[in-house]
Every structure is written in structure tokens, then in C-alpha cells.
């Protein structure tokens, strides 16, 4: 038992020494170490558990002291009167009264302050050392002795004799087997786990020094040395006592008389004084430790106003309110009555705290943070893991029910604090661990091993002002389908002309926006002399390793005046949090634009050159996800009506994105409709069958609508005939015959789309590649504007890479 207990304690002590020598310690001991290492959630939950452990421990030692007093000064069992000094009545309420009086003594000492407590414990230490010397001397000085015992038996009592034999081999052999018996104070049969639970409480004092971390002059110096010395000294004393008792006292004396050391001492009062002193000291130690933990919890404001009174201190810095609150809780625990009743609970609480201290040290070690460099070097992650496993196994061996309940209670506190406690500035070990793991896996993510089967959209959404783009930001969060999502923003300025980086002040607002909209996105801000150069920067550098945007999303360039949709968004109801955002107001109708039509199309052309898929989002200020969702897809390049291909790279990308959207949980019930433009007389049935077969191979479920468009396409052919009559114009190189597209044809195509799908939630249209001739950029943009005018939320999509696969 001692080996198991001290292996667990030894591993924990190594962790305590490592953490305590890694920086300045404040009040709270183990709570302070855990909270600063694992964050407020773990710290707060374990802080409460550690507080309860110390409170129950204090009650445990008080009950032990009462038991020792009753053994000597209590009226013998079954009698109305005893000897001249056996005058204390025995009953539950009397013993509660004695415990209350003793606890009051501890309270008075702790209220005076840590200095008087330190002096009192030092005096008690000297007394206990003297008693220990007499105990060891007695084993050699006292001859064989028969000790008469009176044990409870039913309603009466039973007289038996225990024997102190002196050092004898037969006595040693008789005591080697376990042979657990009945505890005469409770009447219950003992076992390894129940005895270990009681015995382990004699080893938990190792945290007494760290609990006083706020009162020590040099905690980082004193805690490692004092704690290690205490562990080694107590382990030696306990084992010497166990061996000498085993050799000199028979089993009856050991099992049936818990005060037998008094009966075999050279002067019995020595042992009485030692027992009273040590238990009183241990009770005070736990009471003052509990008060310091409660004070640290209150000072950190983890539980808000609930613990606010515990912050009050005396002029000397003693947290007297925390001491009184701890005393009240200990008093409540005293109602449990017997020592062995609460021993298991106390042990499990301490084991849980020790396991978490080891976990904190393990997390710091695994995170490999440069600032974790304790001066105490005698630990590794192996010692931490061994300590955690030892604590966990022993908890469930002692009492599976109590252990499960304690862990469940801790997890409940942890979840409550995660959602309710204010954020802290201590730093979160979870962030360091996540960084460590993410870096490792990013290095393993090899772009050379990418395959189309596992393609996913990785979006870069360019946002000029979030106030006018909040609906689009939320929509792209759906469209990314567990892929990378980056919000990009270009600030127009020259760093040479500025005293500092202006983006630093904006970053918090962008991160708050991401939090409040509940989107899974990163934020990339850049400074550039033009929007085009800024977008180029972001396309080049956004992402890391194998996680880089493969698709850029831009708002549409039109004459519409942007509207501020941020204040009306449900995430910012009340306006308080919206006021914290320092985004500029939306651009007015007369305000100048940040970029020209020429530059806008150049941005699209740049993205295509960089092999990025492009999406242009129009009219998303009207996007309403609340109504029944429907998705309409027009996979034909309407600016090339003479090319009726539905299976080129761009069309397949468009289909893939529409399918990805329909797979999102909130869009799962959306109706996906595919519109196939056909001319009368063409083999429409064959085209429909081919498209249906393609959708089947791609596992895309969509309803196909055949759309006759003879009247619309006739306008295109009419324009082409007019162009042929003017050879000079026909020579203009605007991809294929796109220069032949007339405004009349585009308006007719626009009307056709509106007639066939009046008001879907979202439309996907084919976005043709920008012209090679940059002088035709304004004409290209004008055609897109006519095609998408008044269509509502529309996404123009251009794909440059294969994203669909029919392979397994």
C-alpha cells in the first residue's frame, strides 16, 4: 500500500516541483498551477474539487481526533460510568459536539493568520518528533504486555486480550497475511481498497506546502525542497513503524485497538499528546489550505459574484471570509459521523486533484512551449503519465461509484465554466497543444498527394466592408463544406507613410465578427496600394502548406448602393456588440469606388491565371435562408449560346458546387433543379438522357428541366449574321464570338431565367473566362450585369480544375 501510495504521490510531487519552478506562484497552490496551465475551465472545476478534498480532509482529521479522545476519556461501552478520567458521554450528538469544539479551535488559529499557524505547526512538529522517538524507544524498552480490550458485541460488549510480544519471529509470521477483518468502530468488513482509502489520507499532507504558496516568501524555492523532504521522511517513518509493529504486536491488538501505541509506550500520555497534536495540525492544515483555494477562486472571478465575499482580507492579508466559509462547510461534513465513512471520498478527491496536476505538467511538456523551462529537471512525460494512470486506477479500485460521481461532477463543472466563465488572460494550454498538433499534421499534408476524389472547396472571400456583406459571409460558410474558409480584406494605404500597421487595430473586430456569426473562418488582412495588388497578395500567401484557397469569391461590381445589414443581423441584436466593431460605414451612393470596372475584371483574370476557381456573388443583400430552400443551376455558358456543352470543366465545377451546397445540413432538404436549354428540333431526349447519366455517375440528385429557348437564341444568330456583313467588326478577338452577343439577346436570356425559375433561394450561373484583350473588360462586365439583372441572389461560377470523380 505504501509503495502504491508513494509512487502516485512521488509522480505528482515531481509534477508539482516542475510547475512551481516555472514561474512566480500566487495563492491557491495546486489550483493556481492547474488553472494557469490548463485554463479557467479545468482550474475552476479542479479548484472546487481540491477545496472539497481539503474540507473533507479537515473533517476527517477532526473525527479521528474525536475518536482518539473518546477512546481515552469516553465512558466505556456498555457502562454508565468509567474511571475517574473516563467522563465524556458517548453518542452521535456528543461526538458531534466535541468535533465542533475542536474545529472552533482550528478556526480561531486560522483566523489569526498564517504566521500564528506556521508557529503552531512548528511547535506541533517538535512534539510529534519527540513522540515518535518515544514510540521507537518503547518497542525495545517495554517487555511483553497483555492489553485487555472491550469490544462491542450486539447490545453488550466482548472482552478479549491483545498482546505486545516484543520482537519475535512468530509475531512477524502471524502478521504477514492480509486477513482483513471487521472494523470494530463501524461493524463493516474491511478490504484492500477500504484500508488504502484510510491509509492514503495520511499521505496527502504533501500538498500542505503548495497550498500555502501565497504565504511563502520564495514558493518556487521552498515548495520543491520542502515537499520532496516531506515525502522521503514520511515514507521512511511509515515503513519503519509498519515493520516494527508487525514484529512486536499480535493481530488482535492491531485490529481491535486503534489506540494500542498508547498501551505499549514507556509513558502512555506521550502517544496521546502526539495523536492529538498531529490530527489537530492536519485539520488546521486542511482548513487553511481550503480557505486559500477558495480565496484564489474568488480572486480569479471564475464563479463571478457567487464567491465575491471570499475576496475580503484582513489588514495582514488573511482571507478571513474564506476561512469562515471553509469552516462552515467542514462543520457540515462533520455530520457524517465516522472517520471511515468519508475517508474514501477524501481519498478520491485528492487522487483526482493529483491526476490533474500530472495532466497539467504533461500538457506543458507535450506542448513544447519555449517558455516552459522549469529549473526542476527531474521529471519526464513518462512520470506524468504514470501518475495519471496510478491515480485513475486507485480511484476506481477504492470506490467505482464515488470515483464515477466525482469525475462526472468535475466534468459538469468544467462544461459549466466553459460556457459561463469569463475569458482569462492566463493563456490556454489547449492552444499550445493544438498548435503543436496542427503544425505536425500540416507538415504531413502533402500537396503532391492530392487527388480529385478528395477535393473540397477552400474559399477565399474578398470583403470590402462586412457591414454590407454579412449575408454573403454566412452563405459562403455553408458552401465551404468542411473546407478552408478565409475572409480576405485589402486596406488601401502605403505603410511607408504610416506610423504603424493599421491592420492591428482592425483584427479584433474581424475576429469578433467571426465569433458572433458562428462561422468557421480565418481572417487575412493586407495592406496594398491597389485592390488588385492586395488580392494578388492574398491569393499568393493565404493558407499554409496543403491548406490553401482554391476558390476566390468576389462581390459583383454593379451600381447598387450597399446597405448596412450588420445591425439587423440576429447575431447582433441589441446593437451593443455591433457597436464594438470598428468597421467603417457603408459607401454612400455618391462616394467614389475603390476600384474601376477595368481593375475588377483584371482581378478575375488574375485569379484564373493563378488557377483559382472564381465565383461572383450578386444581390446577396436579398438572400433569405429562412424560407424553403431551392437551388437552380444553369450549366450552359449563356455568353456562348453556340456552344451547347454541358460537361466542360466549368460546368462540372458549377454542378459540384451546387451539389456541395445541397449536402450541407441546413440545405439538405433543398430542391436542386438543373435547367437544360434546348432548341426545337434538336435531339432533346438524347441530351436529357446523357445529362441524367452524367448526374447518375456523379451521384448528384437533381431534377432536370428542359427549357426551349428558340426565341432567345435566334437573337444571337441574328447578331452573328449582322457581324458577318461587317468584316471589320467580325475580326475583333473577343473569345470566340462573344463580341456578337447583343444586349437584346442578354435581356431575353435574363427574362427566360426569371420565367423558368421565378424566385429560388440561390441561382448558379456559368461564368465565362474574361477576354484576353484587356480593352474589352468593361464590355465583358456589362454583359454579365445585363445577364444577372434583377435575378436575386446569384452566383456566377467559373471552374479551372477537375473536381468531380466517378471512381471509387
As for how many domains the chain has, the answer is 2
Contact 204, 350 (CB under 8 A): yes
Within a domain: residue 358? yes
Report the C-alpha gap between 227 and 229 in whole angstroms: 5
Within a domain: residue 753? yes
Within a domain: residue 790? yes
Within a domain: residue 570? no
Q: Choose the final residue of a domain: 360, 392, 420.
A: 420
DSSP 249: B
Task: Give, rounded to a whole angstrom, the gap between the first and last alpha carbons of the chain.
Answer: 58
Contact 785, 616 (CB under 8 A): no
Within a domain: residue 167? no
Contact 655, 633 (CB under 8 A): yes
Quick: pLDDT tens for 40-95: 877 888 888 889 888 998 998 898 899 888 888 887 765 655 566 777 888 888 88
Contact 172, 205 (CB under 8 A): no
CATH of residue 633: 3.40.50
* 3-state SS class at 547: strand
Check whether 794 has a pLDDT greater than 80. yes
* 3-state SS class at 574: coil
C-alpha distances out from residue 548 to 445, 533, 554, Å:
11, 18, 17
Q: Choose the final residue of a domain: 391, 420, 449.
A: 420
Name residues whose C-beta falls within 8 Å of residue 452's C-beta, 6 or more positions apart in sequence. 802, 803, 804, 805
Query: Going by DSSP bridges, is the β-strand pair 762-766/703-708 parallel, antiparallel, or unpaired?
Result: unpaired
Name the percent of the chain in helix, strand, coil, to the closest 5: 60, 10, 30
Q: What is the mean pLDDT of residues 376-390?
A: 91
Report the C-alpha gap between 88 and 435 in whole angstroms: 64
DSSP 335: G
As a whole number of angstroms, the longest Cα–Cα distance in the chain is 135
Check whether 215 has a pLDDT greater than 80. no
C-alpha distances out from residue 63 to 25, 77, 300, Å:
33, 18, 33
Q: Say how many C-beta atoms besides its own lie within 10 A of residue 736's C-beta.
A: 14
What region, left, alpha or beta, does residue 498 occupy, with left being phi > 0 and alpha being psi -120 to 50 degrees? Answer: beta
Q: What is the mean pLDDT of residues 153-176?
A: 87
Strands annotated E in 255-367: none
β-strand partners of 633: 674, 764
Give residue 734's pLDDT: 43
Give residue 84's pLDDT: 62
Give residue 289's pLDDT: 86
High-pLDDT (> 70) share of the chain, %:
89
Give residue 730's pLDDT: 45
Q: Choose the final residue of a domain: 385, 420, 455.
A: 420
Helices and strands of the chain, counted as H and E runs: 28, 12
β-strand partners of 618: 794
Check whether 800 has a pLDDT greater than 60. yes
Within a domain: residue 154? no
Give residue 338's pLDDT: 67
Quick: pLDDT tens for 395-441: 898 889 989 999 999 889 888 887 777 666 676 777 788 888 888 88
Check whether 645 has a pLDDT greater than 70. no
Report the C-alpha gap between 205 and 412 in whole angstroms: 28
Q: Say how many C-beta atoms besides its own lie within 10 A of residue 426's C-beta.
A: 15
C-alpha distances out from residue 284 to 371, 598, 660, Å:
36, 80, 65
Within a domain: residue 42? yes
Best CA proximity match to 279, nearest among 110, 60, 100? 60
* 3-state SS class at 789: coil
Q: What is the mean pLDDT of residues 667-674?
A: 88
Backbone angles phi and psi of 364, in degrees to 5:
-65, -40
Q: Where in the sequence is the domain holding 763, given as residue range(s)?
A: 621-722+739-799
Within a domain: residue 86? yes
Check whether 724 has a pLDDT greater than 70. no
Amino acid at each position: 500500500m505504501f509503495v502504491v501510495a508513494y509512487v502516485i504521490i512521488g509522480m505528482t510531487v515531481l509534477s508539482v516541483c516542475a510547475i512551481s519552478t516555472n514561474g512566480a506562484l500566487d495563492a491557491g497552490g495546486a489550483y493556481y498551477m492547474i488553472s494557469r496551465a490548463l485554463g479557467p475551465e479545468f482550474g475552476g472545476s479542479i479548484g472546487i474539487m481540491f477545496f472539497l478534498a481539503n474540507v473533507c480532509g479537515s473533517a476527517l482529521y477532526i473525527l479521528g481526533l474525536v475518536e482518539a479522545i473518546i477512546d481515552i476519556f469516553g465512558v466505556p461501552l456498555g457502562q454508565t460510568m468509567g474511571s475517574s478520567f473516563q467522563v465524556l458521554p458517548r453518542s452521535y450528538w456528543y461526538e458531534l459536539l466535541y468535533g465542533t469544539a475542536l474545529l472552533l479551535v482550528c478556526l480561531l488559529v486560522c483566523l489569526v493568520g498564517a504566521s500564528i499557524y506556521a508557529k503552531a505547526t512548528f511547535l506541533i512538529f517538535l512534539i510529534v518528533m519527540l513522540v515518535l522517538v518515544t514510540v521507537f524507544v518503547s518497542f525495545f524498552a517495554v517487555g511483553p504486555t497483555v492489553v485487555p480490550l472491550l469490544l462491542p458485541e450486539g447490545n453488550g460488549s466482548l472482552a478479549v486480550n491483545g498482546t505486545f510480544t516484543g520482537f519475535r519471529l512468530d509475531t512477524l509470521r502471524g502478521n504477514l497475511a492480509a486477513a482483513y477483518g471487521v472494523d470494530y468502530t463501524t461493524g463493516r468488513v474491511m478490504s484492500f481498497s477500504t484500508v488504502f482509502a484510510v491509509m492514503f489520507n495520511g499521505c496527502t499532507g504533501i500538498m500542505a506546502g503548495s497550498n500555502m504558496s501565497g504565504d511563502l516568501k520564495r514558493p518556487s524555492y521552498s515548495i520543491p525542497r520542502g515537499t520532496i523532504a516531506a515525502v522521503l521522511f514520511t515514507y521512511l517513518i511509515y515503513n519503519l513503524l509498519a515493520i516494527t509493529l508487525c514484529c512486536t504486536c499480535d493481530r488482535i491488538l492491531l485490529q481491535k485497538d486503534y489506540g494500542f501505541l498508547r498501551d505499549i509506550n514507556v509513558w502512555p500520555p506521550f502517544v496521546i499528546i502526539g495523536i492529538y497534536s498531529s490530527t489537530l495540525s492536519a485539520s488546521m492544515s486542511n482548513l487553511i489550505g481550503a480557505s486559500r483555494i477558495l480565496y484564489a477562486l474568488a480572486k480569479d472571478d471564475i464563479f463571478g459574484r457567487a464567491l465575491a465575499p471570499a475576496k475580503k482580507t484582513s489588514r495582514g492579508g488573511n482571507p478571513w471570509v474564506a476561512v469562515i466559509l471553509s469552516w462552515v462547510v467542514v462543520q457540515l461534513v462533520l455530520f457524517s459521523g465516522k472517520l471511515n465513512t468519508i475517508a474514501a471520498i477524501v481519498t478520491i478527491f485528492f487522487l483526482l486533484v493529483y491526476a490533474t496536476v500530472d495532466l497539467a505538467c504533461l500538457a506543458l511538456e507535450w506542448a513544447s512551449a519555449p517558455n516552459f523551462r522549469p529549473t526542476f529537471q527531474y521529471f519526464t512525460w513518462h512520470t506524468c503519465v504514470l501518475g495519471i494512470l496510478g491515480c485513475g486506477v486507485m480511484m476506481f479500485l477504492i470506490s467505482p461509484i464515488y470515483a464515477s460521481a466525482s469525475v462526472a461532477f468535475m466534468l459538469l463543472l468544467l462544461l459549466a465554466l466553459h460556457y459561463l466563465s469569463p475569458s482569462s488572460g492566463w493563456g490556454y494550454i489547449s492552444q499550445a497543444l493544438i498548435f503543436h498538433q496542427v503544425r505536425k499534421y500540416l507538415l504531413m499534408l502533402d500537396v503532391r498527394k492530392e487527388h480529385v476524389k478528395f477535393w473540397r472547396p477552400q474559399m477565399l472571400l474578398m470583403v470590402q466592408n462586412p457591414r454590407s456583406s454579412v449575408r454573403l459571409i454566412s452563405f459562403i460558410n455553408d458552401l465551404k463544406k468542411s473546407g478552408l474558409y478565409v475572409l480576405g480584406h485589402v486596406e488601401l494605404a502605403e505603410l511607408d507613410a504610416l506610423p504603424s500597421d493599421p491592420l492591428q487595430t482592425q483584427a479584433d473586430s474581424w475576429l469578433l465578427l467571426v465569433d458572433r456569426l458562428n462561422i468557421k473562418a480565418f481572417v487575412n488582412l493586407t495592406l496594398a496600394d491597389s485592390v488588385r495588388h492586395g488580392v494578388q497578395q492574398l491569393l499568393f500567401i493565404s493558407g499554409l502548406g496543403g491548406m490553401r484557397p482554391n476558390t476566390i469569391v468576389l462581390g459583383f461590381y454593379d451600381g447598387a448602393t450597399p446597405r448596412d445589414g450588420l445591425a439587423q443581423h440576429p447575431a447582433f441584436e441589441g446593437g451593443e456588440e455591433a457597436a464594438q466593431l470598428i468597421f467603417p460605414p457603408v459607401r454612400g451612393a455618391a462616394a467614389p469606388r475603390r476600384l474601376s470596372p477595368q481593375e475588377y475584371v483584371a482581378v478575375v483574370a488574375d485569379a484564373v491565371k493563378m488557377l483559382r476557381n472564381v465565383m461572383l456573388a450578386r444581390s446577396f443583400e436579398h438572400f433569405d435562408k429562412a424560407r424553403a430552400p431551392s437551388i437552380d443551376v444553369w450549366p450552359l455558358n449563356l455568353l456562348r449560346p453556340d456552344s451547347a456543352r454541358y460537361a466542360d470543366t466549368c460546368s462540372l465545377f458549377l454542378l459540384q458546387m451546387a451539389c456541395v451546397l445541397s449536402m450541407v445540413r441546413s440545405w439538405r432538404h433543398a430542391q436542386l433543379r438543373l435547367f437544360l436549354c434546348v432548341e426545337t428540333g434538336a435531339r432533346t431526349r438524347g441530351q436529357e438522357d446523357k445529362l441524367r447519366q452524367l448526374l447518375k455517375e456523379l451521384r448528384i440528385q437533381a431534377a432536370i428541366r428542359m427549357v426551349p429557348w428558340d426565341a432567345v437564341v435566334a437573337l444571337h444568330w441574328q447578331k452573328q449574321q449582322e457581324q458577318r456583313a461587317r468584316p471589320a467588326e467580325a475580326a475583333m478577338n473577343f473569345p470566340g464570338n462573344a463580341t456578337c452577343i447583343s444586349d437584346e439577346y442578354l435581356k431575353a436570356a435574363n427574362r427566360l431565367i426569371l420565367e423558368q425559375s421565378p424566385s429560388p433561394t440561390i441561382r448558379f450561373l456559368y461564368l465565362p473566362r474574361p477576354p484576353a484583350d484587356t480593352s474589352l473588360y468593361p464590355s465583358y462586365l456589362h454583359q454579365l450585369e445585363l445577364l444577372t439583372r434583377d435575378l436575386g441572389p446569384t452566383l456566377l461560377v467559373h471552374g479551372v480544375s477537375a473536381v468531380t470523380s466517378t471512381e471509387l
